Amino acid sequence: MDRLLEKAKALNMPALAITDHNRLTGAIRFYEKAKVLGIKPIVGTEIDLEDGYHLTLLCKNMRGYTSLCRLLTEAHMTNKGKQPCVPKEVLGKFSAGLIALSGCSKGKLPTLIGKGKTEQAKKAACLYREIFGYNFFVELIRYPSRDGLSGSRGLAIFAKEEGIPVVATNNVHYAAMKEYKVKELLNAIDQNIPVSQLPGYRTVEQYLKSPKEMTRLFKDIPEAISMTEEVASRCNLELDIGKLHFPKFEVPQGETQHSYLSKLALAGASRKYGSVTPKIRNRLEKELETIKKLGFCGYFLAVWDIVRWAKKRGIRCQARGSAADSLVVYALDISTVDPIQYDLLFERFMHPLRREPPDIDLDIDRRRRDEVRDYIYQKYGAGNIACVGTINTYRARGAIRDAGKALQIPKEIIEEACKGIHYLSASQLLEYADSLPELKKNTVYKSPELKKFFELCVAIDGFPKHLSVHLGGLLIGDGRLSDLVPLEWSSGGDIISQYDKDDVEKLGLVKIDLLSLPTLTVIGNTLSNIKKNRGIDVDLDKIPKNDREAFAMLRDGKTIGIFQLESPAQREMAGRLLPNRFEDIIVSISLVRPGPLKSSMDKVYLPRRHGREPITYLHPKLQNALSETLGVILYQEQVLKVAHDLAGMSYAEADGFRRAMTHDRTEEEMEKMRDSFISCSRKNGVSRKIAEKVFEQLAAFAAYGFCKAHAVAYAVLAYQTLWLKGHYPAEFFAAVLSNQPMGYYPPRVLVADAKRFGVEILPPDINNSFDCYTVENGAIRVSLKQLKGVSEEALESILSARADGKFTSLRDFVPLTIFPLRFTNLGSCKSSSFLLSRESRAPTLTRFPSVG
């Protein structure tokens, strides 16, 4: 897309149209990029009609854009699992604001004229004119060919006879002619065939032609060229990029969204803190003012409502990420993190200079996420909700595999080339072939015969592979979503937006991420187990924050099964950090990540933590920001504080500075940022030398900084699991085992650890086991699901039959249950789970008829 736009700019083209097939996926980013280059973006699509022919549609205005979104949504929704297509009634229903062109060589008119079926072509033309009136044009696409300019003369004559204006178009698929190979390669990949077997007509002409080339091609029909300019002049779509489309949230009579939100936040703060001090009140008011100014009150209310609904039904859920920086979010009970206690900055989450909609992600109990989703569908209407699409693009490995298959490169070469490059983009392959150890030793990258192959892999880097579901992301519109976003089916049967999360954000739509977190399920299960077995209601909000037993376990590395803290790296860190307070868990979560470890932040922090090295600051002004981490930058919030305290930036500006540092920047841009930071720092009385050193530290940190609010939110969960494991190991392990797969270790490791904690493991028992691991007199009873071959149906029949009383023998077991025959082999029958009575095994087996 960039190359096409750049070439259009270089050719001084005033406008360019994008017409993805049955989709608008590229439209938003195309629109924005074209505008930046001063090119008028014309948004359109090429659709499949019900009769199999193609038609090109272009938006004249916002009404046309809505028509197109609705039309495409209908085409996809009514053809689940099939190729989307548009019946003529739907075309008629959503034609307002659109211009229609007769399409490429697969259009109805070109096809019929090409076959000499003029009368049928007349009927089709009549129908299109009925629907689109003066906004219907015959599209002439000309390629040079052996027999002259292909395909269009007959069509041009037909159009003239029928009085339909003609336009000169070009079926553009690439910027420069030489890129036809890339297009053919992608076609072959798409059709899962070798390039040598590509069917049909091949051409090199689908490149963006200059006005001179187009004029020469149409020199006998100059009116086609001028009509093209006329069509472009009629298309003046202005997308309201940035205009917010928040879901409508009803508030009580007499209230505005802001006043209602304020009341809820204040009431929540009173509950949390007991009394609302001036500090808390000021902070709340400041946050609410920003939320109101940015027009986000409805969004906060919507999220509050969802969380409130979930918690009322005992569904554990909480915010993750930078949302936990907000006191309003905490007061509304959306997050579990007290931003005042942990000195978190609201500006890390939101500020007036950042106009994108906020992003509150919710972690939800894995078992019950669908209930929350169903509530949202019910509350806002199915027509107003969709999952967010995500565009999967080619990276190095995928490019090598798919291109290799299409070019019939031997499998062994593909496998060899794919070793150790899973993190690379395709465009980095040749760039790093001589420098990265993984690539240097690999001879395939040096083979001259494969040079062109790798160049093609580089050429398809970043190309979209397919559209799939963004995990957890749910779009909520402000009326009818398909007025603004075209929708389609994912392969898994979800309704998804054709735009990805960045593009929906640009359209001002609200996305809420509902993420399944198995740990919340484990915590919920553990608490249920404790209640059931011991009659105790544990309130995790009231457990002591610095339990000695819990921290002893942590220091000893006894953290298998513990959220965020169980990995070997975390356990190794615990041995060095020797955590003894909650804040150490926050540090550990932030520190044990590839970036900080590679930068040896632990080697700076840990000696200071243990008093082996002095705590020093490059400047006294840094003490406020960095004292909690002993002079070391660990959190993204600290970047804001440093920029504020040292360079005198406002927190909003400081967050802009932080974001700029974390995105890919050219050397020139980094230089500008450095100069600005140093200049501001000097005005604040800081020497150039110090300012330079601090900037270098910030620049190095930018790559791996962690959001403290997120670390705290996860530290809370980590600590809860630690405490539960320490005090109720049987209930905890039963919960973890019942929710596999999850975590770092397989079940056998968890079982071994449970035994180390003094928990006995009881084998599956036909009368005492359930469909999950349970606690029985302080021991863990293995679930019936662990028996190989037991289906859900069989399990249900066992539990259902057992409700009337325990089984006393195989005689009453077999007829009462649905049991897989293959299960009833001698091996299974001999397992102790089938020891139903004190009868010996042998008489039991010989007494009953064969069951398998």
Toward other proteins, which CB reaches closer, 217 or 698?
217
Q: Which of 87, 114, 144, 381 binds other proteins (CB under 8 A)?
A: 144
Inter-CA distances, 574 with 103, 568, 733, Å? 66, 10, 21
Stretch of 194-202, 303-311, 565-573, 770-778 contacting other proteins, by CB under 8 A: 194-202
Choose the binding region for other proteins from 125-133, 140-148, 385-393, 527-535 (rule: CB under 8 A): 140-148
Residue type, 369: R
Half-sphere exposure of 827 (CA within 13 A, CB side): 6
CA atoms of 765 and 774, how far apart (whole Å): 12
- Number of alpha carbons in the 13 Å side-chain half-sphere of residue 488: 24
Pairing assessment for the beta strands 361-365 and 510-517 based on DSSP bridges = parallel
- Verify binding: residue 542, other proteins, rule CB under 8 A: no
Establish if 213 lies at the interface with other proteins (CB under 8 A). Answer: no
Site residues for other proteins, 689-748, by CB under 8 A, read none
Q: Which of residues 443-472 bind other proteins (CB under 8 A)?
A: 452
Give the pair of three-digit tokens for residue 693: 């050193």
- Choose, by CB under 8 A, the member of 20, 139, 179, 205 that binds other proteins: 205
| Nearest-angstrom CA–CA distance, 69 and 410 | 44
688 counts as binding other proteins under rule CB under 8 A: no
Alpha-carbon gap, residue 208 to 215, rounded angstroms:
13
Whichever of 202 and 576 has its CB closer to other proteins, that residue is 202
Task: Report d(CA 257, CA 300) in Å as an integer.
Answer: 9
153 is a contact residue toward other proteins (CB under 8 A): no
Establish if 200 lies at the interface with other proteins (CB under 8 A).
no
Residue 178 beta carbon to other proteins: minimum distance, rounded to whole angstroms: 8
**CA dihedral for 82, 83, 89, 94, sign (positive or negative):** positive
Q: Which is nearer to other proteins, 407 or 640 (by Cβ)? A: 407
Q: Is 181 in the site for other proteins (CB under 8 A)?
A: yes
Closest to other proteins by CB, 205 vs 402, is: 205
Our CB check for other proteins shows the closer of 106 and 452 to be 452
Angle of the 708-727 helix axis to the 636-647 helix axis, nearest 10:
140
CB of residue 122 to other proteins, shortest distance in Å: 30
**∠ CA 320-324-329, rounded to 5°:** 110
Query: Considering only residues 38, 81, 146, 537, which one is a binding residue for other proteins as defined by CB under 8 A?
Result: 146
Closest approach, Cβ 194 to other proteins, in A, equals 8
Q: Which of residues 145 and 491 has its CB atom nearest to other proteins in the complex?
A: 145
C-beta of residue 106 within 8 angstroms of C-beta of residue 166: no
Cα 167 from Cα 234, distance rounded (Å): 13
Does residue 193 belong to the site contacting other proteins (CB under 8 A)? Answer: no
If we measure between CA atoms, which residue out of 709, 707, 713, 588 comes closest to residue 316?
Answer: 713
210 binds other proteins (CB under 8 A): no
Q: Is 413 in the site for other proteins (CB under 8 A)?
A: no
Q: Closest separation between CB of residue 187 and other proteins, Å?
A: 12
**Could you say whether residue 820 binds other proteins (CB under 8 A)?**
no
In terms of Cα–Cα distance, which of 446, 462, 460 is closest to 402?
460
Q: Is 408 helix (H, G, I), strand (E, B) or coil?
A: coil
| Torsional class of 681: left (φ above 0), alpha (ψ -120 to 50), beta (otherwise) | alpha
Query: Does the protein bind other proteins through residue 145 (CB under 8 A)?
Result: yes
Nearer to other proteins, 407 or 630 (CB): 407
Q: How far is the CB of 181 from other proteins (least distance, A)?
A: 5
Which is nearer to other proteins, 146 or 838 (by Cβ)? 146
The tokens describing 322, both together, are: 């930078």
Binding mask 230-269 for other proteins (x = CB under 8 A): ----------------------------------------
Q: Which two tokens stand for residue 300?
A: 């906060």
* Least distance between other proteins and beta carbon 304 (Å): 58
Report which of 297, 459, 482 is spatially closest to residue 384, judged by C-alpha positions: 482
Binding segment toward other proteins, per CB under 8 A, in 111-119, 142-150, 501-509, 831-839: 142-150
Q: How far is the CB of 407 from other proteins (least distance, A)?
A: 6
Is residue 835 at the binding interface for other proteins, with CB under 8 A as the rule?
no
Q: Minimum CB separation from other proteins for residue 146, in Å?
A: 6
**Residues near 200 by beta carbon (within 8 Å), at least 6 away in sequence:** none
- The yes or no reply on residue 402 touching other proteins (CB under 8 A) is no
* Distance separating alpha carbons of residues 535 and 530, to the nearest angstrom: 7
Which span (137-145, 372-380, 618-626, 759-767) binds other proteins, by CB under 8 A?
137-145
Establish if 505 lies at the interface with other proteins (CB under 8 A). no
> Helical H runs in 294-345?
297-312, 327-331
Instruction: Kindly give, in sequence order, each residue whose CB lies less than 8 Å from that of residue 689, ignoring residues fewer than 6 positions away.
Output: none
Please give the DSSP secondary-structure letter assigned to residue 6. H
Q: Which of 6, 50, 162, 184 binds other proteins (CB under 8 A)?
A: 184
Measured from the CB atom, the residue of 15 and 149 that comes closer to other proteins is 149
State how far the Cα of 9 lies from the Cα of 7, in Å rounded to an integer.
5
Residue closer to other proteins, measured from CB, 310 or 457: 457
Write the burial class of residue 382 (CB in 10 Å: 0-12 exposed, 13-18 middle, 19+ buried).
exposed
Q: Is 202 in the site for other proteins (CB under 8 A)?
A: yes
Site string for other proteins, 160-179 (x = CB under 8 A): -----------------x--
Distance CA 155, CA 139 (A): 9
* Residue 663, both tokens: 């995105």
By beta-carbon proximity to other proteins, the closer residue of 63 and 178 is 178
- The secondary element (H helix, E strand) that includes residue 591 is helix 582-591
Our CB check for other proteins shows the closer of 146 and 748 to be 146
User: By the 8 A CB rule, do 646 and 684 touch?
Assistant: yes
Q: Got the DSSP string for 516-574?
A: EEHHHHHHHHHHHHHHHHH-----GGGS-TT-HHHHHHHHTT--TT-TTT-SHHHHHHH
- Binding of residue 663 to other proteins (CB under 8 A): no
Q: Which is nearer to other proteins, 40 or 183 (CB)?
A: 183
Q: Does 274 bind other proteins (CB under 8 A)?
A: no
273 binds other proteins (CB under 8 A): no
Residue whose token pair is 């390039």: 195
Residue 199 touching other proteins (CB under 8 A): no
Select the residue interacting with other proteins from 79, 118, 120, 203 (CB under 8 A).
203
**Of residues 38, 192, 196, 493, which one binds other proteins by CB under 8 A?**
196
Q: Which of 13, 37, 127, 204 binds other proteins (CB under 8 A)?
A: 204
Task: Verify binding: residue 143, other proteins, rule CB under 8 A.
Answer: yes
CB closer to other proteins, 205 vs 363:
205
65 neighbors 42 (Cβ within 8 angstroms):
no
CB contact set of 540 (below 8 Å; sequence gap of 6+): 523, 527, 720, 723
With contacts defined by CB under 8 A, how many residues of the chain interact with other proteins?
A: 18
Residue closer to other proteins (CB basis): 203 or 393:
203
* Angle subtended at Cα 681 by Cα 677 and Cα 687, rounded to the nearest 5 degrees: 120
Which span sits near other proteins by CB under 8 A: 54-62, 199-207, 411-419, 797-805? Answer: 199-207
Nearer to other proteins, 452 or 683 (CB): 452
Q: Which one-letter amino acid corresponds to residue 374?
A: D
For residue 789, which amino acid is it? G
**Please, which residue, 404 or 729, has the CB nearer to other proteins?**
404
12 vs 308: CA distance, rounded Å: 56
Q: Residues interacting with other proteins, by CB under 8 A?
A: 143-148, 177, 180-181, 184, 195-196, 202-205, 407, 452
